[in-house]
Structure 1
Amino acid sequence: MAQVVLSHWLERLQMTDLTRIVDDPALWAPIHRIAGTLDKALPELFVSDYDQRVEAARQRLRPED
């Protein structure tokens, strides 16, 4: 599920210094809004096997060799 992978990445992004990665401060608010929307829409973010679900979703989304 792409939404889980994106949500996980956005969470990690928000925990960094956004100024190092996103050079336009006008983008910060939309990043936070999108992350918040995904958090509300994805109940799997709050399950005990979250890490395994994220990894499984990543595996499904990666192109095959």
Structure 2
Amino acid sequence: MDEDAITIRLTRDQAFVLSDWLYQVMFRSDDLEGIVHERAVWSPIYAISGTLDKRLSEIFIPDYGPQLEAAKERLRANLYGEADESTAPGDDATGAPQEHQMGRGTAGNRGESDQGR
């Protein structure tokens, strides 16, 4: 079996938004099994998530929520040519990022990102 590595290139905004989404799916909602039924796929998902966690300084910034929303807005504008409101009514776009930071041990605790990993 050939184990050549594959390189995937993402912009910082893409990586930041993907990292947050992966965190929401994998840890906050605890629904990875409900979304990804084939457990073999979990291996690359964890590899991507871990790499993003190690490479992104954005997950440590104090204004995580506003910066995440700005990155999402730039990506939407790039995709659709204009701003797009995709947050569902009733969704709190500011609470989840703070929980993301706390779950990763980053809210008020800079420098400790691997939390037992």
Name the TM-score, length of structure 2 as normaliser: 0.53
* Identical positions, percent: 48
Equivalence for 1:11:
23
Aligned 1:18-57 pairs, distance under 5 A: 18-57=32-71
CA deviation vs aligned residue, 1:16-63 (integer Å, no higher than 9, x gap): 221110010001121111001001111111111111111000000112
RMSD between superposed Cα atoms in Å: 1.2
Deviation at 1:10, TM superposition (A): 0.6
Task: List alignment gaps of at least 5 residues for structure 2.
Answer: 1-12, 84-117
For the residue of structure 1 that corresponds to 2:37, the secondary structure is: coil
CA–CA separation in structure 1 for the residues paired with 2:69 and 2:19: 13
Task: State how many pairs are aligned.
Answer: 65
Structure holding more helix per residue: 1
Return structure 1 stretches of 4+ with deviation > 3 angstroms. Answer: none
Name the TM-score, length of structure 1 as normaliser: 0.91
The one of the two structures with greater contact order (alpha-carbon pairs below 8 A, sep at least 6) is 1
Task: List alignment gaps of at least 5 residues for structure 1.
Answer: none
If you compute each CA radius of gyration, which structure gives the higher value, 1 or 2?
2
CA–CA separation in structure 2 for the residues paired with 1:25 and 1:2: 25
